[in-house]
Chains A and B, each alone.
Chain A
Amino acid sequence: MFEIRFVNSSQVKLVGRLDASQAENAAAALKSLSGSATADCSELEYISSAGIGVLIETFKRLRDLGHTLTLANMTPRVRNVFAYAGLDKVLRIE
């Protein structure tokens, strides 16, 4: 199960498991972000390369519009996946 909760136009919360079966829905939902945003990852339990791909594409789309996407409050396990992917220093992670 995976869910994106929209707190307001600049804050979302990623909840559950972002795997390949959820990537398409996640990508579609994140397209509604049009300004700088923070994604709270405190309840993101799992992420795979498919989920990371969605966040990379969202990060790049917002950056091309002059905005940023910040990934906040990752659990150590999820953060490790970003580190293995070499993305912990490239994406904006707090």
Chain B
Amino acid sequence: MAARRFPRSTTALEAVFGFVAEFLTKEGIARERAFDVDLILEELFTNMVKYSREGKEEIEISLARDADGLRLTLRDFNVDRFDVTATPDVDTSRPISERKAGGLGLHLVRRIADRFEYDYRDRVSTITVWKRL
């Protein structure tokens, strides 16, 4: 398992993607797998940055390999509860004039991830995502 903390800013994304690339290389996982992992982490990380504005601490991302694939965990410290798994899905049948980017990130995570869980205790938000390889 590898874990690292990142400043709560979208400017940290390059470092997040670098962390993923480093982990996949170390685990001998094909580079093309990075696309989905990057996308899941970007959407969840930027969601924490945008919606947990009271948070001041860095966000921790950990990556682990298990029997089925990858387990991605994001932890946001000293924040209010925000259950990302409970947000409504985007209605993709709506015409383009009614479509906005808002909510699309979590919609993409639901499509790409195999499983997606939220836990909140002691003011720590933890999102865990499983992605089969």
Contacts and interface: CB of A to CB of B under 8 A. Distances in A.
Interface residues of B, number: 27
A56 B99 CA distance: 8
Given A21-B10, A21-B14, A84-B112, A49 B104 contact: yes
Contacts of B46: 20, 48, 50
A19 B18 CA distance: 14
Chain A interface mostly? helix
Interface residues of A, number: 24
Contact of B95 (A20, A21, A90): A90
B104 A60 contact: no
B101 A84 contact: no
A48 B96 contact: no
Contacts, number: 71
Contacts of A59: 96
Interface in A59-92: 59-60, 63, 77, 81, 84-87, 90-91
B105 interface: yes
A54 B101 CA distance: 8
A87 B46 CA distance: 21
A48 B39 contact: yes
The 3 A-B pairs with the shortest beta carbon distances in the complex, nearest first, are A86-B92, A53-B101, A49-B105
